Amino acid sequence: MSFQHPRRRSILLATAAVSAAAAAPAAASEPHGGRRGPLVIGHRGAAGWRPEHTASAYTFAVRAGADWIEPDLVPTKDHVLVVRHENEISGTTDVARHPEFAGRRTTKTVDGRAVTGWFTEDFTLAELKTLRAVERLPLVRNRNTVFDGREQIMTFQEVVDLARALSREHGRRITVFPETKHPAYFRSVGLPLEPELIRLVRRNRLTARDCVVQSFDPAGLREVAEARLGLPLWQALGTSGGPYGHPVTYKEMMTPAGLREIASYARWIGPDKSSLVPRSPCWRTPTRPG
């Protein structure tokens, strides 16, 4: 499929963005896209066409019609925010092929779950820059594997710079839509995400047209809200359980009382699409008589 086809361009990114864009109709009336209508989010970039969270994935997404690009944020050992789907990077980089890092393979408990591999918080940024990105789901997105080994891990600052360059190239505002990953875990190991995110927003003078911050973690969003950055905040909502470390379920957060509480610090919510559209069919094929 060629991204040159205008109709296919919109379908391409809308498919990737659907889980993150459940609140998009409300967002469409905001100034971020500079227009009314559907909001297209390049979720991790154009992950179906390039390895996710790479410069080429974000660039492909924007050229295919995305209004926003969505980086997931995790920290390095020297507290630099980088973009990876998870802090465990054996599935998204070639770290296992680097013998100099073999001794860093370990098992950690992240948000109550034991995970084995290599973790961004055990590497400096300089060390991570020696790695190269690979396709996370090679059996599903096997065409992406031809791009394995071509690109470095990006910092959040580099994503901001790329968004601005793409805005100039395409003559429209490209918004960055960062998600903080595992905030409670990183607070527990002395690498909180929010202070560095706040610093970068201020350093880059990001406005409500440039950046929207999302997280599943209410405490982290409250910290960003208290910084009074003037950015819209987006409370992401899961389908089961609740945000790690908080005595509230996602189901409770979606009640009238829960939504009022969210409204005290966040502007939007991002429920999973299955919370809005039933997964079971709403109709049954009639059986033939006899």
pLDDT value at position 79? 98
Using alpha carbons, list the distances in angstroms from residue 65 to 17, 37, 270: 12, 13, 21
Report residue 277's pLDDT band, with 50, 70 and 90 as the boundaries: confident
Q: Decide if pLDDT at 4 tops 50.
A: no
Does residue 129 fall inside a structural domain?
Answer: yes
Does residue 1 fall inside a structural domain?
Answer: no
One domain for residues 214 and 266: yes
One domain for residues 55 and 186: yes
Chain-centroid distance of CA 271 in Å reads: 14
One domain for residues 102 and 232: no
pLDDT value at position 278? 76
Report residue 173's pLDDT band, with 50, 70 and 90 as the boundaries: very high
One domain for residues 163 and 186: yes
One domain for residues 50 and 76: yes
Does residue 198 fall inside a structural domain?
Answer: yes
Chain-centroid distance of CA 115 in Å reads: 20
Across the range 184-191, mean pLDDT stands at 98
One domain for residues 109 and 17: no
Does residue 289 fall inside a structural domain?
Answer: no
Across the range 142-158, mean pLDDT stands at 97
Q: How many helices (H) and strands (E) does the chain have?
A: 10, 11
In the three-class reduction of DSSP (H, G, I as helix; E, B as strand; rest coil), residue 36 is classed as coil
Q: 101 lies in which domain range?
A: 86-144
One domain for residues 104 and 241: no
pLDDT value at position 12? 33
Does residue 195 fall inside a structural domain?
Answer: yes
Mean pLDDT of the chain: 88
pLDDT tens track for 104-122: 999 999 999 999 999 999 9
pLDDT tens track for 233-260: 999 999 999 999 999 999 999 999 999 9
pLDDT value at position 16? 33
Q: Decide if pLDDT at 11 tops 90.
A: no
Q: Decide if pLDDT at 142 tops 50.
A: yes
Does residue 288 fall inside a structural domain?
Answer: no
pLDDT value at position 274? 84
Across the range 223-232, mean pLDDT stands at 98
Does residue 280 fall inside a structural domain?
Answer: no
Number of structural domains in the chain: 2
One domain for residues 59 and 188: yes
One domain for residues 161 and 246: yes
Residue 57 belongs to domain with CATH number: 3.20.20.190
Q: What is the distance between the alpha carbons of residues 87 and 198, in angstroms, rounded to a whole number?
A: 20
φ, ψ for residue 15, nearest 5 deg: -65, -45
